Amino acid sequence: MTNHSVRLREVGPRDGLQNEKKWVETKDKINWINQLSETGLSYIELTSFVHPKWIPALSDASEVVKGVKKNINVIFGALVPNPHDTRGTALANVFAAYRLGIRAFDGSAAGLGGCPYAPGASGNVATEDLIYLLEGLGAKTGVELNKLLECAKWIQRKLGRDLPSHHLQLAMAQDHKEGFDDENTTY
């Protein structure tokens, strides 16, 4: 890894979905993970093998692991620490850490997640926001941001609610605006 290369760890399928009140079907989790594995991410945290009593949203852990399409370019893992964005300072912390020479960061597609045991934990740093920042600093992530944004849009639609990613919300606003730009639209 060169001085400008960074390693990203996508934690959305585990840490992102663990707090969601809306159940995401096992086949949809597998579909989303398979999409994420085609973006250039080299590490994806699939799930957690904790007791379903504690995190019911991940009670299908075995089925998810068995159902994901293996990709030789991706390391799949479970249950590792994650930077939460509770006070909106995750990107500032990443910036400071990068300037100090840190080159490995965790993110969660669309900013999903948070700690189920920490009241007010708003979510994780969005992987797409993280990539935008790091590439703006000259880092080489190896991740295709447009593909990752499509994955973020997909899970936001599946969950039926706005997710905290700044880059995702900008992309959604642009998609919405483009829908109004066609010449047959009256205002």
Long-range Cβ contacts of 156-160 (<8 Å, 24+ apart): 156/110, 158/24, 158/28, 158/32, 159/20, 159/22, 159/24, 160/22
Catalytic-role residue among 78, 97, 115, 170: 115
CA triplet 20, 26, 28: central angle to 5 degrees?
Answer: 80
Please tell me whether residue 41 adopts helix, strand or coil conformation.
Answer: coil
Distance separating alpha carbons of residues 24 and 104, to the nearest angstrom: 29
Q: In the annotation, is 151 catalytic?
A: no
Active site residues: 115
